[in-house]
């Protein structure tokens, strides 16, 4: 796709989403509760300025919280199925605007158009899930030990949910949280990544239209803009009982400590160091497809990206050769061109991190079998395009133990049975996603057993990335322990209450305690 076509495509998308296009670098004048400095959003695709957004000051934040608190008083009284109807309408708007929003995600973040459209589809899917869930916020009926008593538990909304999202999924992660929070009766304040602020404004425009059409208060959905200092407004605020934060382990530890210090709740979705185990019974073709997409999809900038490939020594050379051949077929370039497999990294800081990782793995004794490198010249003017790399390494290398948010895949060799491979896989501090490639039932079940993968996600014969919204998403250890999206993840957005009803004229006490007057 030529640059001229890109500009026309994005200008049309921005207009459809109600986001003004920058003209010759001037400010859009967009002001969503922001009177602070400007954030400039540059596309990693071509390095061009897309727009400028005003940041949120402390005074602005106070106005946002007040607006959200007022909206909560109205929203929590809506029956859950009626809240679900609003989410259904939001999902329908997303269906109408899937193409332009997917294009904006691709252009502002840098992921392929197919992945951008897929991210919007995740938003649509979670809306559908939430609509059904709005009629299933079930409690339990319990048997009381006291005659003539009934017990049950039920769930109530928390209040304001603060959402901090990362650049790599600039719209979907917000939707995972907010769709469930809304049907739970909560209102939301969202601080999107300062690296992709226009995506958040586009989403806010869409839900704002739905709220307006239904005569509902705007404070049900709020956004704030800025860097980590703006995020601190939320993490330190006692009026926000739950903070859902997606990002690095370093960031998550700060958020967890801050929120715990005020006895708030936090839902953390942090880094991954995900591995695929390849056993002697693996299907090589499936293994290569799963590993390559996992390693290079979103240019290696997914928390579920495949970082490590743990291969049995009997299969090692065969798998290695197949991967090298597959990497030669990768097309790198403009992500809006669907002929390309790999787009850019988010910015030049990410490129520096990528280069440092390649240097570090060699210094520690690794061997680059697909060397990588930074691309330059026509089509790569932004300086954010890199070649996916493969390195032979060992699991105890410092660089392998840490997450590198770039398309760098480490090949690790194991011998013996599958339990040795599982030990290597579990030998990192992160615990998000994992996979095993095998046609051996015993190996698959061992991987899924209590002594198997210690990750929140464990897959058999699929890769580490590409989770469906029906399952709870999240990980263990330093990935944070949070769960978003499907299953019973809705419970984190609500407070549990136990109720006991006495329908007799007596007042017996629990545990047989006697207290006569």
What is the set of active-site residues? 269, 303
**411 Cβ partners below 8 Å, 6+ apart?**
309, 311, 316, 319, 320, 323, 369, 390, 391, 392, 393
Give CA–CA dist 103/12, Å, rounded. Answer: 10
Opening angle at CA 314, ends 312 and 317, nearest 5: 90
For residue 75, give both structure tokens.
């929203």
**331 Cβ partners below 8 Å, 6+ apart?**
339, 340, 341, 342
Cβ contact 307:404 at 8 Å: yes
Expressed in angstroms, the distance from the first to the final Cα of the chain is 86
Helix H, strand E, coil C: the string for 151-215 is: EEEEEEECCEEEEECCCCCCCHHHHHHHHHHHHHCCEEEEECCCCCHHHHHHHHHHHHHHHHHCC
Give CA–CA dist 240/217, Å, rounded. Answer: 18
DSSP-derived secondary structure letter, 449: S
For residue 160, give both structure tokens.
């304001």
């Amino acid at each position: 796709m030529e640059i001229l076509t890109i500009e026309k495509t994005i200008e049309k998308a921005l207009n459809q989403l109600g986001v003004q296009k920058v003209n010759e670098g001037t400010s859009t004048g967009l002001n969503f509760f922001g009177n602070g400095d400007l954030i400039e959003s540059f596309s990693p695709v071509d390095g061009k300025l897309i727009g400028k957004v005003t940041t949120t000051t402390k005074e602005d934040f106070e106005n946002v919280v007040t607006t959200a608190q007022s909206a909560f008083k109205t929203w929590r009284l809506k029956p859950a199925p009626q809240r679900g109807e609003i989410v259904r309408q939001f999902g329908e708007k997303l269906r109408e605007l899937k193409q332009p929003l997917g294009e904006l995600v691709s252009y502002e973040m840098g992921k392929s158009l197919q992945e951008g459209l897929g991210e919007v589809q995740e938003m649509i899917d979670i809306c559908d899930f939430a609509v059904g869930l709005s009629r299933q916020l079930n409690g339990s009926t319990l048997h009381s030990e006291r005659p003539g008593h009934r017990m049950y538990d039920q769930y109530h909304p928390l209040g304001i949910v603060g959402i901090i999202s990362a650049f790599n999924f600039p719209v979907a992660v917000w939707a995972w949280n907010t769709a469930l929070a809304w049907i739970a009766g909560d209102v939301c304040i969202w601080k999107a990544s300062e690296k992709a602020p226009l995506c958040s404004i586009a989403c806010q425009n869409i839900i704002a239209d739905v709220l307006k059409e239904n005569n509902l208060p705007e404070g049900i959905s709020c956004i704030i803009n800025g860097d980590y200092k703006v995020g601190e407004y939320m993490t330190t605020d006692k009026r926000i009982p739950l903070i859902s934060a997606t990002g690095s382990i370093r960031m998550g530890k700060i958020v967890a400590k801050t929120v715990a210090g005020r006895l708030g709740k936090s839902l953390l979705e942090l880094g991954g160091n995900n591995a695929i185990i390849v056993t002697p019974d693996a299907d090589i073709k499936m293994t290569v497809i799963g590993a390559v997409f996992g390693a290079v999809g979103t240019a290696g900038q997914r928390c579920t990206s495949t970082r490590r490939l743990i291969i049995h020594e009997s299969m090692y050379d065969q798998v290695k050769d197949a991967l090298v051949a597959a990497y030669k077929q990768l097309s790198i370039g403009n992500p809006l061109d669907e002929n390309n497999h790999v787009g850019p990294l988010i910015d030049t800081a990410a490129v520096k991190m990528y280069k440092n990782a390649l240097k570090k793995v060699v210094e520690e004794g690794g061997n680059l079998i697909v060397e990588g490198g930074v691309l330059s010249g026509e089509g790569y003017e932004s300086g954010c395009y890199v070649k996916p790399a493969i390195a032979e390494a060992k699991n105890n290398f410092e660089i392998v133990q840490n997450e590198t948010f770039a398309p760098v895949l480490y090949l690790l060799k194991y011998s013996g049975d599958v339990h040795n491979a599982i030990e290597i896989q579990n030998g990192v501090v992160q615990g998000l996603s994992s996979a095993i490639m095998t046609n051996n039932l015993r190996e698959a079940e061992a991987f899924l057993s209590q002594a198997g993968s210690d990750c929140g996600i464990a897959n058999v014969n699929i890769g580490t990335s590409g989770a469906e919204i029906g399952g709870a998403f999240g990980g263990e250890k330093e990935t944070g322990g949070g769960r978003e999206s499907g299953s019973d993840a809705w419970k984190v957005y609500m407070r549990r209450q136990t109720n006991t009803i006495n329908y007799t004229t007596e007042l017996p006490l629990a545990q047989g305690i006697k207290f006569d007057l």
